Structure 1
């Protein structure tokens, strides 16, 4: 059949197909876009975040590492013998930059972090919408849990804060307002700076340096003496004292984490290891022999 003008129509199978964007990607008056233009379009096949507290890696952690084609972590993580020699290695400085590298990687990626990576750790950044990473987490004992274990104290009634140079005063205010606070410190926002900003307010500090390593030390001091010492990173500080909240209404067990509880009058009750340090006027308690070396976060 010939159409007016001498043209012949194409067979149905040969006609060009018009591409219509889906409703999820169609925006009126603009070119088709994705739902989240900041989200990266490629993604690693598998991302596993492994926490490490110095103890031997679990079977799940070893299995994920053995299959990894990319491993990100600090220098002491990348030196672990379980890291495959042929895997690409990324020194974990900026978590955001590492997340972009991981998102563009085709293969199995592993991120190594100290302690529990879900507690003020890398999991939050990796799961941010702009990276779009879905992760599997193999946690270890967090530095907060390890610090309270060394002190022999429960911590379901403790506040937990992170201290940086710019946010140190905010952490200090939490220590003023609550009777039991765990502070995850950082360079320039450590035990000495924390004690100085308390400005005469009396507290007891339990300072846990390099937890899980052969250089681990636990020190108990009153806040007025903390600034007289040099402290090694990384460290966790438990700050105890101040006005306690009301006692539990019923029973002796807790039911909600972070609740204020009444501390006993006088000096806080510490566990045996921490008491040995306090009895020496703020002496240091070294890690018992035989504990596996490695940091906890």
Structure 2
């Protein structure tokens, strides 16, 4: 198999199902050797099984590609370290890390439990940091030894991470943290030949729940080019993979620190926080004067994007 990732080695976390599965398959089609990482848990996080990762490995081998399965927990220091070592042991190198593992525990803030908060922060945010930490240490070691490093990290945030989501305070905070982590990593790791970008995908998966399924059908069993009624299935998770494959390729080395929204056939760049209008009186403010100053700043500043699911005014 050959393509834009020919000869490269990719790790994809959460690759047993949904979007991660499609990433792994697309990397294989593009010539990469793939480490398929997945815990194989149920929808509610129960149990563990090597089955989903092994099934994807078999699919890749049926395509003529090369892949190995890994069932380590990326939220554990040792598990993330073993994941990186799996790539090095199986294929002798690592060029691409796709952090994709995640789940949701949606609840309004007044009802959310401490465990629901901790679990989502752990899986999304810590589950991004630890594989990135161990992969980055490997690439730094290679770079400092004089090797030419041309590596890629692709992180996964969400619309809730960019704009917030009602009933998703934990998920919003965790995936917003993923964006910030990616910006810092891009700045720190460029010196070693590593680019870091973040995607914000919209697709129908187990994690997105029944809302998309009710209108577009189940994710399994549909071709990305043919929806339930024979048209283009904009919600199919396979639509996300081409961008990720390109971001993992040598041809994307000039792109780093960016956030891409991707859905169906649409790709856009999200524009993050920027300094806005300023009022500076050159001395300490009197609290009584601040209201007028803020009113003028609000006139010169666009309204923020609405929080997803918030009542319209």
Do the two structures share a fold, i.e. TM-score over 0.5? no
Larger Cα-atom Rg: 1
Query: What is the TM-score of this pair, normalised by structure 1?
Result: 0.26
Name the structure with the higher helix share. Answer: 2
Name the structure with the higher strand share. Answer: 1
Q: Which has the higher contact order (CA 8 A, sep 6+)?
A: 1
Query: What is the TM-score of this pair, normalised by structure 2?
Result: 0.25
